[in-house]
Chain A
Amino acid sequence: MAGFEVLTAVAVPIDIDNVDTDQIFPSRFTSKSRAGGMFGRYLLHDQRLDEHGRPRAGFVLNDERYSGAKILVAAANYACGSARPGAIYSHLDYGIEAIVAESFGPVFPTVAFKSGLLTVQLSKPDTADIRRALLAQPGAKVTVDLKDQVILAPDGTRYSFDIDPFVKRMFVEGHSEVDMTLALRDKIEAFETRQRASMPWLYQG
């Protein structure tokens, strides 16, 4: 799956620290089918909807001015907790292609880009500035420029970011990581031969 190089889209601010994956994709939906991009309806489900399935007034994703958002600007420790795949897929199925945050949970940013969901880390004041601008101007667009590694805020402020070259390449070129790995088959097999000699007990019976 190939990602974008430059994405300009409506961005929605999530002004809450520690939004865990139990919020992002409640566990009771894990056994649901994703076929047809159905996981979008579960994104931040219990934040968006009350126990009767009615939209909660005041939650940012229920503000129509942010509709069509493809970028999410979060705070600290976004997507911490469970490593459930639905936490990634629910963003994608909702239409989110990039998440900018001060920090992420431990597993999420190590895998999300492989499914086509980019995670970008900016400093605490920078993410706070962008969220403030988006709250002041709902529906404003943000640009995530992966080529030049810069985020363009609605007011034109440029925030440059660091990104792992591996992530950038994998995301933009949409390589199959499995193919890339299996191209190293000779090295893997050579390792397996050595490992059988050094830890033979792993291959008993």
Chain B
Amino acid sequence: MQQAAPRRTIVDKIFDAHAIHEESGRTLLYVDRVIAADTALPAFKALEQEGRRVRRPGQALHIPDHFTPSSGRTLDDVADDEMRAFIGGTAAAARTAGVPAFVLGDARRGIQHVVATEQAYAQPGIVLAASDSHTPTQGAVGALALSIGTDLAHALATQCVWLKRPQAMRIALEGRLARNVTAKDVALALVARLGCGGASGLAVEYSGSFIRELSVEGRMTLCNLSVETGARTAIVAPDEVTFDYLRGRPYAPSSRYWDDAVALWTALASDRDAPYVRELTLDVSTIEPMVTWGNNTENAVPITGRVPDPDAETLPERRTLIRKSLDYMGLAPSTPASQIEINQVFIGSCANSTLEDLRAAARLMRGRKVVVPTLVVPGSGLVKAQAEAEGLAAIFTDAGARWSEAGCSMCNSMNGDVVPPGARCASTANRNHAGRQGPGSRTHLVSPPTAAAAAIVGRLTDVRQWPDE
């Protein structure tokens, strides 16, 4: 009697299709594409010291984003000599190794995850690896996108990574969002619900009617924030939305291969009854605009909610943690979220810097003026150019916001863009850790519309009630 083939998730299918060798519970997995940012200098140096070569330079791409300046497109614009040395050194190492690059000044350059997705460098069914922790963002198009940290040198030297097969978690999202509520609010609601270790080590697969109607940009935001639940990676099975998005992009299959590619991509969908160690279904229609109050992304509450009161907590560790965060954030217990006044706004980061994100922010900023310093940083040079062409940039600058060159900028504050000590920043990024935006900085994570509205009224506010103009 023939045995039925085991049911597999999309992650299993991609994993199996790239497995080269098994040893001690590990799989040697082939990596189709590697991304090396401007933080990759130590990896290139390690290879050089060990006398090794980049094994398949044509399957790697260098995209500087962490140290790159917001103010200009040349090395002279970089904030200091150390950063300049990193950017220049990594670009030189990539060039020597024969790795293609979107260097400083290249119109395509920007945040690696935004650039790789927009270029269709990330594709359904491939294994893609990069050092950066938010690499799973690229799972939005159906790639198995892995953050490999210091394994970057190994990936460059071998075009492989050693990996334990991750177990899968399915998050089914159903329903439609309220007005001015975005995928970012869904993501923050999910992180709050799961907690920062809630999907620890798992591969999160998003599905459901909400996902099927969601743009690739919205899927990127969801996959991006999955990292804050401890997930090893995140993915959305490719569908018509994905195919429409990818068609014609620079690295997408040419017309000669397109039909074959789509057939292969379509077959990646998880089998019915595929095994998930955890499943969660959420109705998104009741999700409110979300804001964070503490120093971990899980510290998110609805805009109509309040900052917690540590004394109401029963668990002593939890009480201590809340107290410590409130102290750092300078917030009184039980403060209503909509009464939190802010000192500045950052719109950008790999969580929220696509054209769609900028359009959502611009819709609220159009014809209004910001009352706090506001920095808008597009995810890529191409997003920037398009935003300028369709008048978004003018909306931001007319409102008094600063419009910048693409990069990570004030999300992780490694290029000199910092929030001063004690200042409170409404940010569309993904992490609110103590000191992340600079020593003593206080970060409130929000969606692009909420960030835009905060810039205009100087506090966190419920954007569901805002008229568009």
B264 interfacial contact with A, CB 8 Å: yes
Q: Bound state CA distance, A181 and B17, in angstroms?
A: 18
List chain B positions with a Cβ less than 8 A from chain A: 17-18, 20-21, 23-26, 28, 30, 32-33, 39, 42, 50, 52, 59, 66-67, 80, 82-83, 85-86, 123, 125-126, 131-133, 147-151, 153-154, 157-160, 162, 164, 196-197, 200-201, 227, 230-232, 252-254, 257, 260-261, 264, 295-296, 317, 321, 324, 412-414, 418, 421, 431, 433-436, 438-440
In residues 185-205 of chain A, which contact B (Cβ within 8 Å)?
187-188, 191-192, 195, 198-202, 204
Among B158, B418, B431: residue with most chain A CB under 10 A: B158
When C-beta atoms are compared, the residue in chain A nearest to B33 turns out to be A202
Contact with B along A106-134 (1 / 0, CB 8 A): 11101100110000000000000000000
Q: Bound state CA distance, A204 and B33, in angstroms?
A: 13
Given contacts A20-B295, A46-B434, 12 further A-B contacts (CB under 8 A): A18-B296, A30-B414, A46-B435, A75-B317, A80-B230, A84-B149, A85-B131, A106-B227, A107-B148, A107-B149, A177-B154, A178-B153
| Partner of A27 from B131, B252, B260, B412 at Cβ < 8 Å | B412
B52, A178: Cβ atoms under 8 Å? yes
Given the complex, which residues of B lie within 8 Å of A30, measured CB to CB? Answer: 39, 66, 86, 414
Given the complex, which residues of A lie within 8 Å of B153, measured CB to CB? Answer: 178
Contact with B along A37-79 (1 / 0, CB 8 A): 0000000001000010000000000000000000000011100
A181, B158: Cβ atoms under 8 Å? yes
A18, B25: Cβ atoms under 8 Å? no
Q: Bound state CA distance, A81 and B23, in angstroms?
A: 29
Q: Bound state CA distance, A27 and B46, in angstroms?
A: 21
Q: Bound state CA distance, A152 and B123, in angstroms?
A: 48
B149, A23: Cβ atoms under 8 Å? no
A90 interfacial contact with B, CB 8 Å: no
**Known contacts A165-B25, A181-B154, A201-B254; is A107 also within 8 Å of B30 by CB?**
no
Given the complex, which residues of A lie within 8 Å of B42, measured CB to CB? Answer: 34, 85
A83, B200: Cβ atoms under 8 Å? no
B421, A51: Cβ atoms under 8 Å? yes
A201, B253: Cβ atoms under 8 Å? yes
Count A/B pairs, Cβ under 8 Å: 180
Q: Bound state CA distance, A114 and B152, in angstroms?
A: 12
In residues 1-25 of chain A, which contact B (Cβ within 8 Å)?
16-18, 20, 22-23
| Partner of B133 from A17, A82, A165 at Cβ < 8 Å | A82
Q: Bound state CA distance, A202 and B458, in angstroms?
A: 48
Q: Bound state CA distance, A28 and B158, in angstroms?
A: 31
A138 interfacial contact with B, CB 8 Å: no
| Partner of B159 from A28, A33, A83, A188 at Cβ < 8 Å | A188
Q: Bound state CA distance, A58 and B250, in angstroms?
A: 55
A166, B126: Cβ atoms under 8 Å? no
B151, A111: Cβ atoms under 8 Å? yes
28 contacts between A and B (CB under 8 A): A17-B321, A22-B436, A26-B435, A26-B439, A27-B412, A30-B86, A51-B421, A51-B439, A77-B196, A80-B196, A88-B149, A103-B200, A107-B133, A107-B147, A107-B149, A110-B148, A114-B150, A114-B151, A165-B25, A177-B162, A181-B162, A188-B30, A188-B158, A191-B20, A191-B30, A195-B32, A201-B261, A204-B253
Q: Bound state CA distance, A26 and B437, in angstroms?
A: 10
